[in-house]
Amino acid sequence: MASGFSEHADQIDVGYVAHLARLQLSEEERAAMQAQLEQILAYVDQLKEVDVSDVTPTAHAVPVANVLRPDEARPGLDTADVMRNAPRQRDDQFLVPKIVE
């Protein structure tokens, strides 16, 4: 379970979740989100009332497995097309703010 959520929906840490999503929320927004997210979680919580003890958990909504392709290479996009919408670029690379490690 992601650590932004505790066992009980009413303890969701909106500030933490917002930080993980790189969202900057004002105090008002945070309060609004707090209430809304708790409502959503409470709604989803209703699912817990269903007895699923006889149901096998699935990883996917559809019962399909092994959608594989053969290992064959084919041409991709033209570099000029790839770079066309880049806000900033240099030497055919996308430029981003300097990464500080």
Partner 1 sequence: MEFEAIIGLEIHVQLKTCSKMFCGCANVTGRAPNTVVCPVCLGYPGALPVMNAEAVRLTVQAGLLLNCRINLFSKWDRKNYFYPDQAKNYQISQYDQPLCLGGSVGISVDGTEREVRLTRIHLEEDVAKNIHFESSSGVDFNRAGTPLMEIVTEPDLHSADEAYAFLQALKQILAYGEISDCNLEEGNVRCDINCSVRPVGQRELGVKTEIKNMNSFKGVHRALSYEIERQKRVLSGGGTIVQETRRWDDVAGMTQSMRSKEYAHDYRYFPEPDLVPVELTEAQVESWGATLPELPAARRRRFVEAYGLPDYDAGVLVAEKRIADFYEEVAQACGNYKAASNWVMGETMRALSEANMEVDASPLRAEALAGLIQLVDQKTLNMPAAKEVFQVLFTEGGEPKAIVEARGLAQVSDSGELEGFVEQVLEAHPQSVEAYRGGKANAIQHLMGQVMRLSRGKANPQVVLDLLRSRLDG
According to DSSP, residue 61 is labeled S
Shortest spacing between CB 100 and partner 1, in angstroms: 7
Among 8, 19, 30, 84, binds partner 1 (CB under 8 A): 19
The number of CA neighbours under 13 Å toward the Cβ of 1 is 8
DSSP state letter for 5? -
- Of the candidate spans 6-14, 15-23, 31-39, 47-55, the one that interacts with partner 1 by CB under 8 A turns out to be 15-23
> Binding residue for partner 1 (CB under 8 A) from 6, 8, 16, 30?
16
Q: Which is nearer to partner 1, 50 or 73 (CB)?
A: 73
* Size of the chain, expressed as the number of residues it contains: 101
Dist. CA 92–CA 19, nearest whole Å: 32
Which residues fall within 8 angstroms of residue 45, CB to CB, at 6 or more apart?
A: 9
Binding footprint of partner 1 on the chain (CB under 8 A): 2-4, 16, 19-20, 22, 59-62, 64-74, 76-77, 79, 82-83, 88, 90-101
